[in-house]
Amino acid sequence: MKARIAVLPGDGIGPEVIAEGVRCLRALAERHGHELILTELPFGGAAIDLAGTPLPEDTLAACLQADAVLLGAIGGPKWSAPEATVRPEQGLLALRRALGVYANLRPVKVHPALLGASTLKPQVLEGVDLLFVRELTGGIYFGEKRREPDSATDVCTYTVAEIERIVRAAARLAQKRRRKLVSIDKSNVLETSRLWRAVATRIMRTEFPQIALEHMLVDSAAMHLIRRPSDFDVLVTENMFGDILTDEASMLAGSLGLLPSASLGEGTRGLYEPIHGSAPDIAGRGIANPCGTLLSVALLLRHSLGLEREAAALERAVSAAIEQGARTPDIAAKGARAISTREVGEAVLAKL
Ligand code: IPM
Ligand code: MN
């Protein structure tokens, strides 16, 4: 097959992990006879330095024309002064909006060999295999923002249509898994959450009666996620709750550096990025964990290119490499030698 992929390395450790993702992607394409056209584009802080804006027109145009977008990470102290008016994060939100990728899939699986890498007890983590579906293009991230001398305002809005489509997306995924959906909100306080709960209840009752739906308040969900994580299958929630809970959930897997994500809209075009940030504290040292990016590449192959076989092969290769001890410092076993970003990439390539 032939496909066009826009590659946005971004800032901090972004370029380091993306380099490994691109190498694996090229290797797979060559091996299976696919013609991939990869175009690297400036984005985030790097684009602010270059063009004065985090999402230059050419970058956006290339992303809109691509079959998929692969993104590293953005942001850093250089661009986050409180008085800054142009921020890398604005570019990311604008890109998600422009691509219409409202459904952010964040799978969390515990690798048996990494049961000891988490700060949580191994017996709590056994069998964890859950999927967060985070609403990505609405809510407080996109509402009106105001700043007065002695106050500030962020508006949170959700429409019925926005809630319907994300609940449907989550339900379709739950259908193919264990048919259990937990919808997370704060309906005891927020009006948007009361609407969310009403819409989720109606959609599930009328369109997906075979899926068990449970509502959970976000504070309680945060607790249950670490108390009994293996009980969860698919979780659906609004933008900011999803952001917070998935960082929490990453510790089930053992490291923020392990988690991939796929952001999807109506078609097959998607945006793929590890859920971690640009990690300025370790940038340039070659020790960032590339697994979140490699697993994001697998999601790209699966969801945007329809290459299930290649996707599964890459996931198996990552898993086998980890099993054999190919680990960056964030997940290295006690006393074991940690290896570099590049070496982990190489180990995964060898498995491929
Ligand atoms: C994420 C990140 C972003 C978000 C930031 C960088 C804007 O934390 O993808 O989880 O909050 O969505
Ligand atoms: Mn986040």
CATH number of the domain that residue 169 is part of? 3.40.718.10
Q: Closest Cα to atom 11, ligand 1: which residue?
A: 243
259 lines ligand 1 (CB under 6 A): no
| Under-70 pLDDT residues of the chain | none
Domain boundary (189, 223, 253) is at 253
Q: Report how far residue 267's alpha carbon sits from residue 254's, in angstroms, rounded to the nearest whole number.
A: 33
- Distance between Cα 77 and ligand 1 center (Å): 15
Which residues does 168 contact at the CB level (< 8 Å), separation at least 6? Answer: 203, 207
248 lines ligand 1 (CB under 6 A): no
The verdict on 249 and 265 lying in the same domain is no
The verdict on 305 and 333 lying in the same domain is yes
Domain boundary (219, 237, 253) is at 253
Q: Is residue 285 part of a domain?
A: yes
The verdict on 136 and 222 lying in the same domain is yes
Q: Is residue 106 part of a domain?
A: no
Closest ligand by atom to 247 CA: 2
Is there a contact between 43 and 8 (Cβ–Cβ < 8 Å)?
Answer: yes
- Distance between Cα 35 and ligand 2 center (Å): 33
- Distance between Cα 75 and ligand 2 center (Å): 12
The verdict on 241 and 276 lying in the same domain is no
Closest ligand by atom to 263 CA: 1
Q: Is residue 127 part of a domain?
A: yes
Q: Is 219 a catalytic residue?
A: yes
- For residue 104, the ligand 1 atom closest to its alpha carbon is 9
Q: Which of 233, 243, 272, 351 is catalytic?
A: 243
Q: Which of 186, 233, 272, 351 is catalytic?
A: 186
Domain of 88 in residue numbering reads as: 1-101+261-352
Closest ligand by atom to 136 CA: 1
- Distance between Cα 245 and ligand 1 center (Å): 12
Q: Is residue 111 part of a domain?
A: no
Which residues does 7 contact at the CB level (< 8 Å), separation at least 6? Answer: 18, 22, 38, 39, 40, 41, 69, 70
Q: Among 92, 97, 102, 104, which is best to mutate for testing ligand 1, by the most ligand atoms less than 8 A from CB?
A: 92
Is there a contact between 272 and 260 (Cβ–Cβ < 8 Å)?
Answer: yes
Structure tokens at 158: 């959700």
Q: Is residue 167 part of a domain?
A: yes
The verdict on 243 and 123 lying in the same domain is yes
The verdict on 88 and 147 lying in the same domain is no
Domain boundary (202, 233, 253) is at 253
- Distance between Cα 215 and ligand 2 center (Å): 23
The verdict on 141 and 66 lying in the same domain is no
The verdict on 281 and 241 lying in the same domain is no
Q: Is residue 272 part of a domain?
A: yes
92 lines ligand 1 (CB under 6 A): yes
Looking at the structure of the chain, the number of domains it has is 2
89 lines ligand 1 (CB under 6 A): yes
The verdict on 311 and 344 lying in the same domain is yes
Q: Is pTM beyond 0.85 here? A: yes
243 lines ligand 1 (CB under 6 A): yes
pLDDT of residue 334: 85
- For residue 273, the ligand 1 atom closest to its alpha carbon is 9
Closest ligand by atom to 96 CA: 1
The verdict on 61 and 126 lying in the same domain is no
The verdict on 245 and 265 lying in the same domain is no
pLDDT of residue 117: 87
Q: Is residue 161 part of a domain?
A: yes
The verdict on 247 and 129 lying in the same domain is yes
Q: Is residue 114 part of a domain?
A: no
Q: Is 243 a catalytic residue?
A: yes
Q: Is 141 a catalytic residue?
A: yes
